[in-house]
Amino acid sequence: MASAEVNSALQEIQAAPVSDKPTQYHTLLQQITASSKNLADDLNAYSRTLLDDNLGVVILRPLVSNFVEQFRNLKTPEIKIEVGENVIALLQTKGVGQYEEQDTLIKEAVAEACEEIEDYRKSARVLGSINLESTQRSLSNDDKAKVWIRIVRCYLEEDDPTSALTHLNKVKNVIYSVTDKETRIHFQLSQARIHDSQRNFLDAAKAYYTLSLESSIAEEERHQALGSSIVCAVLSPAGPPRSKMLATLYKDDRASSVENHSVLEKMFFDRLIPPQETKAFAETLQPHHLARTADGSTVLDQAVLQHNLVGASKLYNNIGFDQLGELLGIDAEKAEDYAAKMFEQGRLSGYIDQIDRLIFFEGEASGERKTGQSERVVGKELRKWDANVQGLAEEVEKVTTMIQTQYPEFYAAQTVH
């Protein structure tokens, strides 16, 4: 409840002539913000009286602007939220279209206060209520993008990538015309974080890596983005696209200073990763990186298992189900199942002999998904023979070309019939 002094002063203002009211409202507001011991209630009483007063828009709008200016300087976030929500509701009853600028400034201040107390979802809701398609004021795409990006970041703090993506898609429609560098960088970072949260790790790795090359952000942030890129690349499904990303990261001179460089190196060279190193790597990850999948394993478990399966394909021409399961630390049936899926998806090249319980590996994977058994590659030795014959033919052709270049007369005499 407002203090007796404030209630008395408000009654006097209401009874005063209209010409005297602006000065009296200004004076009372300064007194409240400077010395009130019950600040929230006094400000609520002041704003309610001000907006209920029978004043014209020409007189009222400057008074509301003055209130907003004082309101934004409040230090206690809880008071700012309580008072701000009250004023927003009162402006709605007045016809917010006439006070859109003031309404927007209050909502931005309330959202900032919500972020201070880490109520990011509420901040996102308040920011989402700002009218960005106003006919009363002209808003550029930069202005709109800043608000949407702020909403996206709030939802990401609440671990809600679905809601974040909804607003990020709004930014995508205007990002081509956004000139503010900071907004564009936040857009890239938000896109990377959403890919990361939704376990689109390969896309996240690419987005984080692009950020790590951005010269306009601090060195520490670029280093952090590079580390995030490495983590996401490691967690990506094994196959040619990931191998390409791992190569890009490993060849970056900065990679050696990143915490998880040893895991990156083993994956790049297709070396087997032992359980103890997997456990150490897991301790550096975020909770969503360790979420359980349908079969009860974590994303990291699957990534390492698939990588070790690729590593085994580099060591063996063929291997039994039981031996592969022992090598990967899983049972034979699961080892066969993982190999079959990777063959089918084009992330591993080879075939399975279920009668002899053997898995045959054949060179590099194509990266293309197989659609039927007829595409399964067989006849490994025959293909090797074909490759050797082709290689020999190419060498003969090179020698022939060299003879033609060095001894054109001799070559011409040999080819004339």
**Distance in angstroms (rounded) separating the CA atoms of residues 262 and 284:** 13
pLDDT tier at 381, thresholds 50, 70, 90: low
Q: What's the average model confidence in pLDDT over 380-403?
A: 77
pLDDT at 123 over 70: yes
Helix (H) or strand (E) holding 353: strand 350-353
pLDDT score of 388 more than 70? yes
Q: Where are the domains of the chain?
A: 1-117, 386-417
Beta bridge partners of 59: none
What is residue 280's predicted lDDT score, i.e. its pLDDT? 87
Please count the CA atoms within 13 angstroms of the CA of 6 that sit on its side-chain side. Answer: 25
Q: In this structure, are strands 318-320 and 350-353 parallel, antiparallel, or unpaired? A: unpaired
Query: Sorting pLDDT into bands at 50, 70 and 90, what band is 377?
Result: very low
pLDDT beyond 60 at 366: no
So what's the pLDDT on residue 369?
55
* pLDDT tens per residue across span 54-92: 888 889 999 999 999 999 999 999 999 999 999 999 988
Q: What is the pLDDT of residues 158-202, one digit of tens each?
A: 989 999 999 999 999 999 999 999 999 999 999 999 999 988 999
**Are the beta carbons of 59 and 21 closer than 8 angstroms?**
yes
pTM of the model: 0.72
What is the rounded average pLDDT of the residues 207-219?
Answer: 92
Number of alpha helices (DSSP H) and beta strands (DSSP E) in the chain: 20, 3
Say what the pLDDT of residue 277 is.
Answer: 87
Burial class of 354 by CB neighbour count within 10 A (0 to 12, 13 to 18, 19+) = exposed
Interacting residues of 392 by C-beta distance below 8 A, sequence separation 6+: none
Query: Is a pLDDT exceeding 70 seen at residue 321?
Result: yes
pLDDT for residue 283: 87
What confidence tens digit (pLDDT) does each residue in 257-276 have? 998 898 999 888 888 888 88
